[in-house]
Amino acid sequence: MAFLRFNKAQQDAFLPHIESGVITFIGATTENPSFSLNAALLSRCRVVVLEKLSPESLTTILQRALADNHISISESSTERKAGNMSREALNYLANIVDGDARSAINTLQMIIESRNLNSHIDLEQVKEAAKRSHVLYDRTGDQHYFMASALQKSIRGSDDNAALYWLARMLKGGEDPTYIARRLVRCASEDVGLGDPTALPLAVAAFQGCQLIGKPECDVLLAQATVHLARAKKIPEVYKALNAVYQNIDQGSLPPVPLHLRNATSKLTEQLGWGKGYSANPAKVKNITYMPEELKNVNFFK
């Protein structure tokens, strides 16, 4: 969709022409429109989501392509007729492309063009072609965020099996290991928190290990950290309290720092009462408060 090449400020210039009917805006894109179009323009559009195709639909499409190339289907994997494709290989291709018909057709075309005219197409040929032609994971699109979200939610839900699966999907798709490691560091504090004090050092160590040895060897470091975080006890108390503080700051007034908590850096500030009654030794201080007067009864941990 060429329109998406305009930034959101430039898109505003088209808005009155679209509203008046001078421009009819029709487009198709693999990008997420909510990220690429500004809110005013998106609100005037009808968005139709085209879901990925089912393996059954992809099988039908591939069968038509095979018929056009005069290639039959062998129902048995042991039946290796010249000029045929095994049903096992066809089903594998229909499933591995993740609902993308274009990728399925491109992979099949690669196989057909590279084979001997009368050779049999088997499962191993499809697997090899799929490695070269199909991207299972889009590192810059929605899949990048979908799977990162699935990974963190699986860790948060203490499902080590699912967490390891989503990690593997990201790694096999070519995701930057350090991106995954950064997400794990965040999970260690946001989701595990005080439940397991070893989680954060372990996640940081995994991140540093990824930087040290790189891929593909760093995969087991990420797997170990992922499983540890998923199995760890979850006490996200600090994360929730921090959000409560943020909410208070955003919605309330911002009281000044109490005088007794300020450093007296001059005679004048001493005369103004800065630092009065404060001591670095808590045992020498009685009835001192550390919150502003307006917030003295607020507890962000409750």
pLDDT of 135: 47
Burial-class residue 129 by CB neighbours within 10 Å (0-12, 13-18, 19+): buried
**Does the pLDDT value for residue 218 go beyond 80?**
yes
Spatial CA neighbour of 47 closest among 29, 68, 72, 65: 29
Q: Give 122's contacts (C-beta < 8 A, 6+ positions apart).
A: 77, 80, 86, 88, 89
Q: Which tens digit of pLDDT belongs to each residue from 49-66?
A: 888 889 999 999 999 999
Is the pLDDT at 105 greater than 60? The verdict is yes
pLDDT, position 102 = 87
Q: Are 149 and 183 in contact (CB under 8 A)?
A: no
Domains in the chain, please, with CATH?
2-42 (no CATH), 55-133 (1.10.8.60), 142-231 (1.20.272.10), 255-302 (no CATH)
Least confident of 137-141, 148-152, 230-234: 137-141
